[in-house]
Amino acid sequence: MRSFFLTLTMIHLKTATPRWIIVVFDLCLSIFALGLSYFIRFDLNTNLKAMKTEWLGHWPEFLLYLFLKWIVFFFFKIHQGLIRYTSSAEIKRIFLASSACTLIFILISTIRAWGFNTTYLFPSSILIMEFFFSVLFLIGSRFVIKIWYYETVKNEETKERVVIFGAGSMGLLTKKTIENDHKNPQKVLAFYDENPRLKGVRIEGIKVLGKEDLVGFLKNNQVEKIIVAIRTPQKESLSWMVDFCLENRIKIQRVKDPATWVNGELTPKKIGKIAIEELLGREEIHLNQATLAQKCHEKTILITGAAGSIGSGIVREILPAITGKLILLDQAESPLYELQQELKDEPQFSSIQFIIGDVRNRSFLKELFEYHQPNIIYHAAAYKHVPLMEENPKEAIETNVQGTANLVDLSLDFGIEVFVLVSTDKAVNPTNIMGATKRIAEMYAQHQSQVGKTKFITTRFGNVLGSNGSVIPLFQRQIEAGGPVFVTHPEITRYFMTIAEACQLVLEASMMGLGGEIFVFDMGKSVKIVDLANKMILLNGLEPQKDITIQFTRLRPGEKLYEELLAHEETTLPTHHAKILIARIRSNQPQFIEQFKNLLSHQGSIHEKVALMKAMVPEYISQNSTFESLDAHGTV
């Protein structure tokens, strides 16, 4: 019988209680508060005859008391909240409602006594005691029910054992969200925080662990899940935590950025898997916005390839500093339209021009320069996909080399102040058409830096997380489709950085450059792609080679097994920025300009063009490509 009653009670508590029951419950508590006040006023003397006389003499006032309480409670909506989710907002409403009732009673009493020369509605002592008792009973009853619900009802369910990484305000909100989510019963065992001042303290009865206590606690208490509840955790700490959880088969989740919360409220849907991008980037880099604003003051800035990953990233980073005009150029209509829609609510939108055009078209570019008179150019337009360019070398030469030459020459003609070429680490000892074309573009910009006053600056970096065609979105699609995940080679490695990091470093390099430099970025540690695939599968709650298989294909045309390490002490010089270095490179050959003109001429076959590129860039040795035969014999 007892278990049947408990089960029935649980069913009722898990559904919304009818509002009229809460109203009646609150009015009964109010009557009790009033009766207790009278009881105290009678010096705790249970004189039933005196109380009966009081009731018979003042029953209309008691009915008015109930009526006014009902009206005020309804006005303040204290009956609308779910009791098991009682929060500070409900407490505030109850306090205001009780205060309003007491003020109304005092006002009516004053009018009765002074206006009609009769007795007060209730004695002043009664009103004061009734106010405190009402607030105490209404709030206290809700917390009693809430505690009883969590301690009795939810204890009947099997709970997932959770530790929250972060003991700040977000961690506390996460704890409350977990406790309120009865569909996914979980129990918070502890907080973990790297702030030594918080170690050992208790927050809402939950202990805060330090790093030296964490590993033992996780194993001894059979913790099943860790939830990261820090807005910007340190990359090293987050990576260590993820690796530990994946090694020990502990689930790990992340509270999403508060900017994504609906109405600023954290819900269980905003606690999800960790994005692999968060683990591969470095600590946040802070661009010197004051210097950037000074450099860009009243300037007209042209960004080519503005709708691409890097181009649009530069737009977002530079937009707050714009006081002049921003020209966004791209040949891709739909992506440029999407960027336009994204920026239309920005205060600087009226200063932005969106232009469809091709950097290979010199006459079009000349008209653009004549009309807009740019001062600074960020050249991010390029073809970048290695296998595609290996199959389409003519397009790679025309876009990456001819397009860059058009902009460089016009920059000299129009006296552009700064020209920044966005290049790639694949230009270092290139093994493919794409890398070779970008290296030749670098060489031409460097050569022309000696001709006029324009500062030609080149920036190089590796693979950009989240950029168009990058490996992570591809792996994610393959995982969501049930696999397999395709990796080209078990030993292949790459360097990664985030779009924001790449763009901020490009802007920083453009501000420190004097002209003629090739800036390279410290890319940190290389990542084994198969390890990246394994980690992504695990972060999706699946097991590699069991739930999702990994299949090795082969290196694609022109693809390297290992990318060159750009930030090497023997090949770079330091700058004032720890993440930015200057590449040491050889001087161009005397015949470079003649070879450059021949490359861009309309004469010669594709194989002759590639052979000429190999002569211009002696370190260009093809790999896994139809052009490997050109490395064994003569050049043009």
Report the catalytic residues: 426
- Residue 310 is inside which H or E element, if any? helix 309-318
Residue 541, classed as helix, strand or coil, is coil
C-beta of residue 451 within 8 angstroms of C-beta of residue 412: yes
C-beta of residue 153 within 8 angstroms of C-beta of residue 160: no
C-beta of residue 566 within 8 angstroms of C-beta of residue 307: no
C-beta of residue 526 within 8 angstroms of C-beta of residue 565: yes
Closest CA to 206 of 262, 221, 215: 221
Closest CA to 460 of 520, 506, 517, 418: 520
Dist. CA 588–CA 586, nearest whole Å: 7
Burial of 575 (0-12, 13-18, 19+ CB in 10 A): middle
Dist. CA 106–CA 111, nearest whole Å: 9
Closest CA to 308 of 359, 349, 350, 347: 359
Task: Give the pairing of strands 518-521 and 527-528.
Answer: unpaired
- Cα-Cα-Cα-Cα dihedral of 144, 148, 151, 156, to 10°? -170
Dist. CA 319–CA 348, nearest whole Å: 7
Task: Give the pairing of strands 186-192 and 160-165.
Answer: parallel
Cα-only R_g, the chain: 35
C-beta of residue 552 within 8 angstroms of C-beta of residue 561: no
List, in sequence order, every residue forming a beta bridge with 377; answer none if it has no partner. Answer: 302, 419
C-beta of residue 493 within 8 angstroms of C-beta of residue 526: yes
Dist. CA 489–CA 505, nearest whole Å: 31
Task: Give the pairing of strands 463-465 and 496-498.
Answer: parallel
What residues contact 304, with CB distance under 8 A and at least 6 apart? 311, 329, 330, 359, 377, 378, 379, 380, 381, 403, 407
Task: Give the pairing of strands 271-272 and 251-255.
Answer: antiparallel
List, in sequence order, every residue forming a beta bridge with 627; answer none if it has no partner. Answer: none
Residue 586, classed as helix, strand or coil, is coil
Token match 């000696």: residue?
450
- Residue 522 is inside which H or E element, if any? none
Token match 């290695």: residue?
386
What residues contact 258, with CB distance under 8 A and at least 6 apart? 170, 231, 264, 266
Dist. CA 613–CA 602, nearest whole Å: 15
- Alpha carbons within 13 angstroms on the beta-carbon side of residue 429 total 10
DSSP annotation string for 267-296: -GGGEEPPPTHHHHS-SPP---HHHHHHHH
Amino acid identity of residue 292, one-letter, is L
Dist. CA 274–CA 252, nearest whole Å: 7
List, in sequence order, every residue forming a beta bridge with 271; answer none if it has no partner. Answer: 255
List, in sequence order, every residue forming a beta bridge with 227; answer none if it has no partner. Answer: 164, 253
